Structure 1
């Protein structure tokens, strides 16, 4: 991996990217509220199940397909997978999350002038942009290798989940880093699966998570927006 591509990847996968990822827990705060997550062991179990049963089954494969579509300039495929992802957000919080971060990243891509005119027109021409679409556009525009970008996307997701646990379980900082380190094999397995799963085998079926998200919408006390 060339140094320029690595530096681009580190910047666009960083939690410091100003798109608001830190303000979302993706249902984890609701799981903390109802006691499903209560300590380090249950937190790790939650993250692993969410990774393999939700993210690796749908979000990561779609991101993989979008990166390839942007690189091929296959605008039909970009539109198709973008629409499918937004349609799959089955609670108002999950939908608002991806659209808000997608909007913020689209604006950032334009302001940093990293995409050419055709790519930018495709990105800005959509009525709603999900985060995977905007992230994949940035990956293609900056020439970041897809495998590394997918791993970075998964790591950033896991890091955010761990940070929620550090703040809210609560876990100590060292315990959080130990948990993140222990997830490396799980993240690699999820990335491999996302690259090989067929379109017909992709799945967004996670009714328990959807119910938690809906409960979070009316949760009395909360720190996160999802």
Structure 2
């Protein structure tokens, strides 16, 4: 059985070993756990499902696809500006900017790619285009990595165990595929979000007294 070209490279880029610091961010999950909004595998699955349907789990892949399809540097800059403007809180903006800059720095250093510091989904989309990777596969693996990172954060915050976390990830697999497919077919002009509780949680995290994560 052959592996699709580019799959191994994407595994490297989106693995916890790639130094973007994803482990340091909970995307507001820590504040939600602290407030008692996420207390078990069921509430975690609901939270992540809403992010995929209405929040950044939906919007980031659309932004990634737009960056991949950008025809020149000016178009790429516009996509990146949209990504920054769409961040609903200071910590969410810092999350995408910091991870994006780290991704670009590492990828430039290894492959010499022409990657200015970009927000994270824009950086991954641009790099995938430069390396001729499949946009479909890039989207699927990006969304899966996004959910996996939040499952890992939830396990550190202790509302779910390791087995339960993997069960949540397995249950969300069909939705992950649907979200990636939707991003292939959605224009950047249709970018929208309605995950208000998650957005507010990220704002509460800014002033949370004691915290493990940076967002």
Deviation string, structure 1 residues 67-95 (Cα, Å, up to 9, x no partner): 122xx4x2222111110001111311111
Cα distance in 2 between the residues matched to 1:139 and 1:223? 32
One of 93, 99, 102 as aligned partner of 1:101: 99
Alignment partner, residue 88 of structure 2: 90
One of 88, 105, 124 as aligned partner of 1:135: 124
Alignment partner, residue 189 of structure 1: 178
The question of 1:63 aligning with 2:77 is answered no
Deviation string, structure 1 residues 7-37 (Cα, Å, up to 9, x no partner): 1111112121111001101111111011110
Q: CA deviation at 1:56?
A: 4.7
Please tell me whether the aligned partners of residues 33 and 159 of structure 2 are also in contact (alpha carbons under 8 angstroms). Answer: no
Alignment partner, residue 212 of structure 1: 201
Q: TM-score, normalised by structure 1?
A: 0.88
Greater Cα offset, 106-115 or 155-164: 106-115
Matches within 5 A, 1:138-153: 138-153=127-142
Q: CA deviation at 1:4?
A: 4.4
Q: CA deviation at 1:145?
A: 0.5
Alignment partner, residue 20 of structure 2: 19
SS in 2 for 1:225: coil
Cα 1:113–1:141 shift into 2, 3 Å = same
Alignment partner, residue 51 of structure 1: 52
Q: TM-score, normalised by structure 2?
A: 0.92
Cα distance in 1 between the residues matched to 2:212 and 2:101? 22
Cα distance in 1 between the residues matched to 2:83 and 2:58? 12
The question of 1:29 aligning with 2:27 is answered no
Cα 1:50–1:56 shift into 2, 3 Å = closer
Cα distance in 2 between the residues matched to 1:104 and 1:90? 21
Cα distance in 1 between the residues matched to 2:209 and 2:108? 37
Please tell me whether the aligned partners of residues 64 and 195 of structure 1 are also in contact (alpha carbons under 8 angstroms). Answer: yes
Please tell me whether the aligned partners of residues 28 and 161 of structure 1 are also in contact (alpha carbons under 8 angstroms). Answer: yes
| Structure 2 stretches lacking a partner, 5+ long | none
SS in 2 for 1:105: helix
| Structure 1 stretches lacking a partner, 5+ long | none
Q: CA RMSD in A?
A: 1.7
Please tell me whether the aligned partners of residues 51 and 58 of structure 2 are also in contact (alpha carbons under 8 angstroms). Answer: no
SS in 2 for 1:182: helix
